[in-house]
Amino acid sequence: MATVLAFDVYGTLIDTHGVVAELEARLSGDKADLALEFSRRWRDKQLEYSFRRGLMGAYVDFSECTRAALEFTDRAQQTGLSEADKDHLMGTYARLPAFAEVSQALKRFGEAGITCVAFSNGSREAVEGLLDQADIRDRFSEVVSAEEVKRFKPDPAVYAHLRSRLDVEPGDTWLVSSNAFDVIGARHAGLHAAWIRRSLDAPFDPWGIEPDLTVADLDALADRLI
């Protein structure tokens, strides 16, 4: 049984595509059909910008990567969003919903005596807000943010900071993430890792580093670990 489960937040606990309905309402005419594509590209660019800033040593709050990615996607898809639209979408991003099984699965882990922490590239304030609005903040003993070391996952320093904050050994710590880059980063840093493969179409990166476990959702993870 895992000693500590460190849960990634965006895409793992919280559905980043929960913004699609708001995009549909703000994309005019036939462009509303592009909402899901827009959401995916926005998310991909958000991560790309965090990776690039990590390589440059030019840290900013994760929300700045999110806003810049929104600006880029609007330009790339020529959707013509107004500044008010962009402000509204950024507000929506701060209120994204949790995936359906998350709350009950986290309750199962807690009842089994497993320590759960939230572990994110997002700022502590942003993550606390997301967990509060999803009514799952009380499921976590800690929120550990990459902002505390001014780096972004998958930088090894972020995983080292997690271990330092929690005072745990790598082998006693599991990362739980739907993001392959995060799983690979954690395994590279000596942690165990479970990949939440929320889409059956999602391939894992062929880096020669594999997750310890691959499951469809957090209920399936609980079935394996409890």
- Asked whether the predicted pLDDT for residue 1 surpasses 60, the reply is no
Residues 164 and 119 in one domain: yes
Confidence of residue 20 (pLDDT cuts 50, 70, 90): very high
Per the residue annotation, which of 8, 15, 85, 155 is the catalytic one?
Answer: 8
Please compute the mean of the pLDDT values over residues 16-21 and round it to a whole number: 93
Q: Distances in Å between the alpha carbon of 26 and those of 29, 42, 43, 88?
A: 9, 15, 18, 10
Give helix 62-77 / helix 83-93 axis angle, nearest 10°: 130
Residues 67 and 170 in one domain: no
Q: Is 8 an annotated catalytic residue?
A: yes
Residues 9 and 114 in one domain: yes
Domain boundary among 93, 117, 135: 93
Residues with Cβ within 8 Å of 153's Cβ and at least 6 positions away in sequence, in order, are: 8, 121, 146, 159, 181, 182, 185
Residues 88 and 108 in one domain: no
CATH number at residue 89: 1.10.150.240
Order of all β-strands in the sheet with 142-145: 142-145, 115-120, 4-7, 173-177, 192-196, 213-215
* Dihedral sign of CA atoms 78, 83, 88, 89 in order: positive
Q: Count structural domains, the chain.
A: 2
Domain boundary among 93, 108, 142: 93
Q: What is the pLDDT of residues 44-76, one digit of tens each?
A: 999 999 999 999 999 999 999 999 999 999 999
CATH number at residue 139: 3.40.50.1000
Over pLDDT 70: what percentage of the chain?
98
Residues 144 and 105 in one domain: yes
Residues 83 and 113 in one domain: no
Entry pTM: 0.94
Domain residue limits at 119: 4-14+97-225
Q: What is the pLDDT of residue 131?
A: 98
Domain boundary among 50, 66, 93: 93
Q: What is the pLDDT of residues 88-128, one digit of tens each?
A: 999 999 999 999 999 999 999 999 999 999 999 999 999 99
Residues 30 and 138 in one domain: no
Confidence of residue 32 (pLDDT cuts 50, 70, 90): low
Q: What is the pLDDT of residues 191-200, one digit of tens each?
A: 999 999 999 9
Residues with Cβ within 8 Å of 164's Cβ and at least 6 positions away in sequence, in order, are: none
Q: What is the pLDDT of residues 136-188, one digit of tens each?
A: 999 999 999 999 999 999 999 999 999 999 998 878 899 999 999 999 999 99
Contact 151, 53 (CB under 8 A): no
Average pLDDT, the chain: 95
Q: What is the pLDDT of residue 174?
A: 96
Confidence of residue 2 (pLDDT cuts 50, 70, 90): low
Residues with Cβ within 8 Å of 154's Cβ and at least 6 positions away in sequence, in order, are: 181, 182, 184, 185, 186, 188
Residues 61 and 163 in one domain: no
